[in-house]
Amino acid sequence: MVFTPSLQPGRSDSVRELLEASYEKRSLVHLAAGSQVPLLKRSIWLVVRGMVKLNAITIHGDELLLGLAGPNEPFGDPLTNVDVYSATTLVSTDLLCVSCEEIQRSPHLAMGLLQGMAARYRQSEALLALLGLRRIEERVRGFLELLTNDYGQPCEEGLRLDIKLTHQELASALSTTRVTVTRILGTLREEGWLHIDSQRRLVVRHLPKRR
């Protein structure tokens, strides 16, 4: 059965309900952390548990982080025009693969995927807005706030990210250098805004109040 971990306040669980209603007995594809997800021409992947990193390679050969796909969020070849596009699991991940033909035949599935795509669209807009900030410090802080609001798990110290992104991956997402990201993360830790727990996971301690 399609399952979703607890969501942050304000995030709808209607996607989960729609998908469970249509695909209770569907078998899932389980991939270990660090696995490449095969991208199929006429199929869309849906994250059930876990997290997938979406990458591209620039014309200069540099890796570019396009975004993340978390629970109930779709990705796949039919949803992108980027030629050199890849998907890699960040943690142990369960995925559901559905063909475009299946989606066309199932209004419930189409509605669930539409809502998942809306979440991915909002994330893409937020990333573009961050890239417009002049100060790199604001980009890094904003990116971590975005991730913890979307995917963070509550803990005693704040919101914890169970996914691990390297300093280079953060730099690629924010159009800066690994050295700069490392320096800014150190500053955020000194300020007490950011904490790294015993398992090397990031914990954001103080998020701004939501409007």
Domain ranges of the chain: 14-130, 133-204
Q: Within a 10 A sphere around the Cβ of 196, how many other Cβ atoms?
A: 11
**Residue corresponding to tokens 């996914």:** 163
135: phi then psi, degrees, rounded to nearest 5: -80, 125
Q: Which portions of the chain are predicted below pLDDT 50?
A: 1-12, 209-211
How high is the pLDDT of residue 4? 34
Model pTM score: 0.75
d(CA 154, CA 8): 9
> What single string gives the DSSP state of each residue in 58-77?
-TTS-EEEEEEE-TT-EE-G
Q: Within a 10 A sphere around the Cβ of 53, how many other Cβ atoms?
A: 20
Among 109, 130, 92, 88, residue whose Cα is nearest residue 43: 109
The CATH number of domain 133-204, selected from 1.10.3720.10, 1.10.1130.10, 1.20.1090.10, 1.10.10.10: 1.10.10.10
How high is the pLDDT of residue 18? 58
State both tokens at 160: 């914890």
- Residue pair 79/54 in contact by the 8 Å Cβ criterion: no
Q: Identity (one letter) of the amino acid at 101?
A: E
- Residue pair 19/109 in contact by the 8 Å Cβ criterion: yes
- Residue pair 184/147 in contact by the 8 Å Cβ criterion: no
Q: Could you tell me which CATH number the domain at 14-130 has?
A: 2.60.120.10
